[in-house]
Amino acid sequence: MKRKQVLAFLGGLLIALTGSVGCSTVAPVPASDQSTTLLIAAAASLQNALEDIDPIFEAANPGITVSYTFAASGPLQQQIEQGAPVDVFISAATKQMDALQTKDLILSETRRNLLTNQLVLVVPQNSRLQLTSFQQLTDPTIKKILVGEPRSVPAGQYAEELFSNLGILDQLRTKFVYGNSVRSVLGTVESGNADAGIVYATDAKSSNRVKSALTATATLHTPIVYPIAVIKASPNQQAARAYAQFLSSKQSHAIFEKYGFGIAP
């Protein structure tokens, strides 16, 4: 089934507006005469996994079609606050979901932590850097480090926490080049236009043009969790709940784990 990508639509809408329970089996939504289209706003790092899950969900729920918008969690949060017609939000950090919950924009009872991830340093596949610690990034021969913009990209926030806890953040700031999503960071490192970049382990695993050089110790940054919730203004709440529940099915878990995600407890 052809998947509909709606980033352009949501981007246009934003411009116009500005100026928990896991389960092993999931019951399908009863079929109806009218089809339902769900819009899922999800962190960019989830794209490959969710696109693999999509046809399985739609086959089990023939009355429901799923469309996606993938971007950094911060801009997605802002689009939802501006009234974008999102049914389900999956963030790469609790910060953005907390903001929506504070504004009473999600159904609190549907919120739960869905997945976990790890933070890694990647370098181009042909890089000759021999790194054994993050502190080596302060070496003057390393000139450009890609990180997500920390105010809107959770991976960038985690990166700053990591470097701050290691006591090297101030030494590295002049080397930082900021990406607008973790996928843009990955793409720049893949192209060879950066010495290194901070992404999720799942992003590194998805690419054969980068290699993981270092993995951050989990205690050096906020735990990486992906919360999910149904948006309160969704006109398709039954279908949205079914989709959110399906992501905790055995089929979905197997796909998430294939891409390197951990399943949140």
Residues 215 and 231 occupy one common structural domain: no
Q: Are 72 and 182 in contact (CB under 8 A)?
A: yes
Q: What is the pLDDT of residues 89-133, one digit of tens each?
A: 999 999 999 999 999 999 999 999 999 999 999 999 999 999 999
The count of structural domains within the chain is 2
Residue 27 labeled ligand binder: no
d(CA 67, CA 6) in angstroms, rounded, equals: 7
DSSP count for the chain of H helices, then E strands: 10, 12
For residues 101 and 126, state if they share a domain.
no
**127 assigned to a ligand binding site:** no
The tokens describing 217, both together, are: 């110790």
Residue 146: its pLDDT value, please? Answer: 98
Query: Do 51 and 133 sit in the same domain of this protein?
Result: no
Structural domain of 101: 4-116+225-263
User: Annotation-wise, does 60 bind a ligand?
Assistant: no
pLDDT in tens, 140-169: 999 999 999 999 999 999 999 999 999 999
DSSP run (H or E) holding 212: strand 210-215
- To the question of whether residue 84 is assigned a binding role by annotation, the answer is no
Residues of the chain with pLDDT under 50: 1-25, 31-33
Q: What is the pLDDT of residue 3?
A: 45
Instruction: Identify the CATH number of the domain in which residue 93 sits.
Output: 3.40.190.10
**CB neighbours of residue 84 within 10 Å:** 22
252 and 168 part of one domain: no
Please name the residue that has the structure tokens 């050089």.
Answer: 213
The confidence score (pLDDT) of residue 26 equals 52
- The verdict on 112 and 124 lying in the same domain is no
CA distance 201 to 45: 10
Contact 117, 262 (CB under 8 A): yes
Same domain, 36 and 65: yes
* b/e burial code for range 45-72 (CB count within 10 A of at least 16 → b): bbbbbbebbbeebbebbeebbbebbbbb
Same domain, 204 and 160: yes
> CA–CA separation, 244 vs 247, rounded Å?
5
Known binding residue 35? Answer is: no
pTM score, whole prediction = 0.86
- Calpha distance 76→58 (Å, rounded): 24
pLDDT of residue 147: 98
Question: Does residue 108 share a domain with residue 151?
Answer: no
Query: Could you tell me if 126 and 214 lie in one domain?
Result: yes
